[in-house]
Amino acid sequence: MENKIKEKPMPTIKRNHHFVFIEAPIALVFPEIVSWGEAAWWPKKSDMKFVKKTEGDVAVGTRYVQKVKGAFAPHWVVEVSKIVPNKLIERTFKTGMFRGYEVVKLEERSNGTRVDYEMLYFINGFINKFMWSFKFKEKHDENLKLILATMQETILTKQKENQEKELEG
């Protein structure tokens, strides 16, 4: 007898990756990726906004609502699911249009730190898939490039200021 029950296909997991190289030590970079979304350097022009929903320092379990500016723009809840000092911070999508996670990883190099942003995800629902591919993915990529460039510039400025203080003192 033939099995006539159709299994629902597994969603295709997508990957969104961006990176930047910062000529600064990992110890200077790591605190900035932990404060991601709340950092003083967060670009004013960014269409992405983080609203922290839990009290205290950022740790596993810290929750945020991520919002995209604009009419009919999506929002979703993420939770810090992993922190490895001087290595990475990972946030898991809890509600909203995405399933999966995003991670910001650091890799120390002889002349600085490589910062990789990676989002492994699939999208819930037909309308969300349409809106993501039609409008929001491009906006997301533009924002990530802006965010990484602004973080890079801020860290390099801090490093220069630290070096100048050391020379003075």
Q: Does the pLDDT at position 137 exceed 80?
A: yes
Give the pLDDT mean for 18-40.
95
Dist CA 15 CA 101 (whole Å): 10
Q: Considering the domain boundaries, does residue 136 fall inside one?
A: yes
| Closest by CA position to 120, among listed 141, 93, 149, 155 | 93
User: How confident is residue 84, by pLDDT bands cut at 50, 70 and 90?
Assistant: very high
Q: CATH number of the domain that 78 lies in?
A: 3.30.530.20
Task: Give the count of domains, the chain.
Answer: 1
Range of the domain at 42: 14-168
Q: Considering the domain boundaries, does residue 129 fall inside one?
A: yes
Q: Considering the domain boundaries, does residue 3 fall inside one?
A: no
Q: Does the pLDDT at position 22 exceed 90?
A: yes
- Please report the pLDDT score of residue 12 as a whole number: 82
Q: What token pair was written down for 77?
A: 């809840």
Q: What token pair was written down for 96?
A: 């909203």
Dist CA 90 CA 103 (whole Å): 4
Q: Considering the domain boundaries, does residue 83 fall inside one?
A: yes
Q: Read off the pTM.
A: 0.88
Q: Considering the domain boundaries, does residue 9 fall inside one?
A: no
Q: Considering the domain boundaries, does residue 5 fall inside one?
A: no
Residue 93 has a CB neighbour count (10 Å cut-off) of 22
